[in-house]
Chains A and B, each alone.
Chain A
């Protein structure tokens, strides 16, 4: 909002001087979005405690317009994935993400949400939420301190401020981005990877065919 700009060619009536500012639509749109981010009240593990502390009096992220934490995904803008993503929980997380309205952002808080963390080798642990959801900001730490989370949220605000309405995907025609919900099978099945199962089955068939051929030759 540069006052110099107002002095150029635009005729402002004297009663409105110093009361009207001219800016771009992008700027005002992004400014209002970035300074009223509503995170989803959604805690997974240890990091959720630090997330609560970030909301509490000592750090207090309401100074940045984020105090309205909503448990319903329909009312939230940011999903803070605060903790270990387990295979049993990931279908629900994906479903919650799908239910959030655009524009929506994902913050991977802590080592577990970013890449599995200390529990990566565990049989019920997903190696990071980015295997399923598009992550905007990763916050390192185990758990990250409240200050680190705040920093991550400010980075996200900066990212939002750089966006443009003209290429915002969610206003485009036919924009539909729903992530297929994983299925709990003998292990976690990602519906986007069905072709890999086919490939394994085919190669197994080939091997058995080759084996039977070899046996036939021997006989």
Chain B
């Protein structure tokens, strides 16, 4: 038998497991349909025998009124394309086995599917609501669930278009606010379920047995200067060391997915900016890739180069920011961050010139970019790439890398091994700092990344210091890519086809993913041929990277938790969506 199987080759599982695994034959769809009772066995098999060890994304789709579907995207850590596995379940009895025992990275994603779609995952260790609170009424992403300001299923709403009459939604609601209650609800009988479940879920077994001490639960956040936004974690402390830790999410849950299902495809583009609001160009990129896959269009050469330049500038800006704020968390209050923010401003100037907005660029379109580089900007980018940024990255490196305090606070703290990182679905700098050379730009190249020369930095300690070093080195590699791209960029059109407000997207599903500054950013889009996506799911890197926070923090001191969180580099807009 031939031993050389290409990593990009997906085995024919329908032939390997006849009568159990079926090919998804719906037009526009791909992957394998697995019955729910066979799912656990099948996932173990594909992980152990076929090398699909990264469970990248879990989500559900509500095919109202027929059935529900749980969609799994798996990848090999060696590289290659996706293995898509689907489980079809009835809507009124949506139960699937939890994959937590095989892929620990499933934990938060399964909780999210339970929270928003009401899919029950059997034997999940802690199946609570994650983005909404315990006691909230209904599963918002189900198609028959309507929110308080519900107007119509799809935009543009008839009341606003073409006449353009807008009315305050508050006026139609009896409470004058965005709320909706079940019939005959009396608030005086309501007993808030509180957060006992969160505190009871903390595992007390890790306590040291030498001394008879009392343990303490402390909450960090949601209002805390170190949590980078409205993130919250409940930590169980024995003295100063962490016995258990659980993050609590949802304080910035802005319902991207529900709003995205109502928007037209193009209307979602500015919403992607607000996911990871520090790196909006990467978000645009990933969403554009997903929809372009469905539409079957390819952007022209010049647009591809512009996209790569913008995505890499974003990476540099984001890494500058995260390095600066990591130092903030270590106690170097704002001085390193000011150095970093100064360079970020110069990159934002480029963004403002090309897109009109500093942070929310909304620059990519399906089949290109919205406008060409204005005059003077190629020179500005060249100046940044060849002169300013390399020098400033070196300066940051020089000031921080050998710093005594940085070294003693970061080395050996928050360690995540390579196996753990893969198992916890960590991606981006965290995975590469743990010794796994996995970068989507090389592992599953998209756009024109296969044309450039650059290295994927890998380090092996898996601690805060290595994550910091990876980011510094990645900035240098991004500068290299920009240098090549800005030299090679051809003249020509920047958009394929005719620009239009309402794009025609054929029915089907697509998963577009890019290596965003924080890790793998994926958009899972299902279209049914209508102007609006049927399902719009964001596989957010910083949300899923937080699954590994607990592992990194166990037995560390409470002061280090702040630094560990800083090294994961989260952005709350993306964590809570």
By a beta-carbon cutoff of 8 Å, the part of chain A in contact with chain B is 41-46, 48-50, 52-53, 55-58, 71, 83-84, 86-89, 92, 96, 116, 118-127, 131, 142-143, 145, 183-191, 193-194, 196-197, 200-201, 204
CB–CB B187/A187 < 8 A: no
In the assembled complex, the CB of B11 is this many whole angstroms from the nearest CB of chain A, namely: 41
CB–CB B251/A187 < 8 A: no
By a beta-carbon cutoff of 8 Å, the part of chain B in contact with chain A is 131-133, 135-137, 140, 147-149, 151, 169-170, 174-175, 177-188, 190, 192, 222-225, 229-230, 250-255, 258-259, 262, 270-271, 274, 277-278, 334, 337-338, 341-342, 345, 358-360, 572-573
In the assembled complex, the CB of A38 is this many whole angstroms from the nearest CB of chain B, namely: 14
- Who on chain A is nearest to B342 by CB? A57
Q: Known contacts A56-B338, A119-B255: does B180 contact A45 (CB below 8 Å)?
A: no
Which chain A residues lie closer than 8 Å to B222 at the CB level? 89, 92
CB–CB A193/B192 < 8 A: no
Q: Known contacts A127-B169, A183-B187, A184-B133: does B255 contact A48 (CB below 8 Å)?
A: no
Cβ-defined partner of B359 (8 Å) among A119, A143, A190: A143
Q: Known contacts A188-B179, A201-B184: does B148 contact A123 (CB below 8 Å)?
A: yes
CB–CB A187/B229 < 8 A: no
Q: Known contacts A57-B342, A125-B178, A184-B192: does B271 contact A86 (CB below 8 Å)?
A: no
Q: Once the chains are docked, how many angstroms separate the CA of A117 from the CA of B258?
A: 15
| Contacts A52-B341, A92-B251, A194-B187 supplied; 6 other A-B pairs, CB < 8 Å | A56-B341, A57-B341, A127-B169, A187-B137, A190-B179, A204-B184
Q: Once the chains are docked, how many angstroms separate the CA of A188 from the CA of B250?
A: 14
Which chain B residues lie closer than 8 Å to A187 at the CB level? 136-137, 148, 179-181
CB–CB A86/B251 < 8 A: yes
CB–CB B255/A49 < 8 A: no
28 chain-A/chain-B pairs, Cβ below 8 angstroms: A42-B223, A43-B230, A45-B254, A45-B277, A45-B572, A53-B345, A56-B341, A56-B345, A58-B342, A83-B252, A86-B250, A86-B252, A86-B254, A96-B223, A118-B270, A118-B271, A120-B169, A121-B255, A122-B254, A123-B140, A123-B148, A123-B258, A125-B255, A131-B177, A145-B358, A184-B135, A184-B136, A185-B187
- Who on chain B is nearest to A200 by CB? B174
What is the number of contacts between chain A and chain B, taking CB atoms within 8 Å? 165
Q: Known contacts A84-B252, A121-B147, A197-B186: does B338 contact A57 (CB below 8 Å)?
A: yes
Which chain B residues lie closer than 8 Å to A45 at the CB level? 229, 252, 254, 274, 277, 572-573
Which chain B residues lie closer than 8 Å to A46 at the CB level? 274, 277, 359-360, 573
- Who on chain A is nearest to B572 by CB? A45
In the assembled complex, the CB of B311 is this many whole angstroms from the nearest CB of chain A, namely: 19
Which chain A residues lie closer than 8 Å to B175 at the CB level? 190, 193, 196
In the assembled complex, the CB of B109 is this many whole angstroms from the nearest CB of chain A, namely: 19
Which chain A residues lie closer than 8 Å to B360 at the CB level? 46, 142-143
Q: Known contacts A71-B225, A92-B223: does B174 contact A196 (CB below 8 Å)?
A: yes
CB–CB A48/B229 < 8 A: yes
In the assembled complex, the CB of B396 is this many whole angstroms from the nearest CB of chain A, namely: 15
CB–CB B185/A197 < 8 A: yes
The interface centre, meaning the residue of A42, A89, A116 with most chain B CB atoms within 10 A of its CB, is A89
CB–CB A186/B181 < 8 A: yes
Q: Once the chains are docked, how many angstroms separate the CA of A189 from the CA of B176?
A: 12
CB–CB A194/B342 < 8 A: no
Q: Known contacts A88-B251, A185-B190, A187-B137: does B229 contact A120 (CB below 8 Å)?
A: no
CB–CB A49/B359 < 8 A: yes
CB–CB A185/B192 < 8 A: yes
Nearest 3 CB-CB pairings of A with B: A122-B255, A186-B137, A46-B277
Which chain B residues lie closer than 8 Å to A142 at the CB level? 360
Cβ-defined partner of B254 (8 Å) among A71, A92, A119, A127: A119
Q: Once the chains are docked, how many angstroms separate the CA of A49 from the CA of B317?
A: 13
Cβ-defined partner of A71 (8 Å) among B170, B184, B223, B277: B223
Q: Once the chains are docked, how many angstroms separate the CA of A168 from the CA of B337?
A: 40
CB–CB A186/B341 < 8 A: no
Which chain A residues lie closer than 8 Å to B253 at the CB level? 86, 88, 124
